[in-house]
């Protein structure tokens, strides 16, 4: 295996930017836990909470924030840059929808990865995936951005 893998393989960190921000709700926001509220609760639908600093606090998962950023990025890419980008939704990413010589991109990439041909897999992905998949990730391809939880 080569020691000079391209940075897109995620095996080499060449640049890092850490952005911290304060989030302020200007309108009501509810992120449900997907579970029933505990008995005696004043609400029907439980709010997602995390145990932090000795108490349960509501929070916004990093995955939810990432979804918002991806969605806004898609709209900007389409409107301002006239780029063709996928929705990123399950089974609708470039890995699922792009065909290369009548084979799904996902199958071609996974085939390369099974053969440990990482550079070839990354090259295939970068030739055929949209900008949003390259930045925010897709099946079998990690994201280049990470969003932490907002507490
Ligand atoms: Zn895509």
List pLDDT tens digits, range 107-117: 999 999 899 99
Which of 96, 119, 133, 86 shows the shortest CA–CA distance to 10?
119
Q: Tell me, in angstroms, the distance from the centre of ligand 1 to residue 46's CA.
A: 33
| pLDDT for residue 5 is more than 90 | no
| pLDDT for residue 6 is more than 50 | no
Q: Tell me, in angstroms, the distance from the centre of ligand 1 to residue 19's CA.
A: 24
Q: Tell me, in angstroms, the distance from the centre of ligand 1 to residue 98's CA.
A: 9
pTM over 0.85: no
Q: Decide: helix, strand or coil at residue 144.
A: coil
Eight-class DSSP state of 141: B
Q: Tell me, in angstroms, the distance from the centre of ligand 1 to residue 89's CA.
A: 9
Q: Tell me, in angstroms, the distance from the centre of ligand 1 to residue 71's CA.
A: 12
């Amino acid at each position: 295996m080569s020691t000079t893998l391209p940075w897109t393989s995620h095996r080499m960190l060449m640049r890092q930017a850490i952005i911290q921000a304060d989030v302020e709700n200007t309108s009501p926001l509810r992120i449900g836990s997907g579970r029933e509220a505990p008995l005696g609760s004043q609400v029907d639908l439980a709010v997602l909470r995390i145990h932090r600093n000795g108490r349960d606090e509501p929070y916004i998962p990093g995955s939810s924030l990432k979804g918002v950023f991806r969605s806004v990025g898609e709209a900007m890419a389409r409107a301002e840059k006239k780029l063709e980008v996928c929705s990123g939704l399950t089974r609708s990413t470039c890995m699922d929808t792009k065909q290369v010589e009548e084979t799904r991109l996902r199958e071609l990439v996974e085939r390369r990865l099974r053969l440990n041909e990482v550079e070839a897999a990354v090259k295939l992905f970068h030739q055929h995936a949209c900008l949003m998949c390259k930045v925010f990730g897709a099946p079998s391809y990690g994201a280049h951005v990470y969003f932490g939880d907002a507490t």
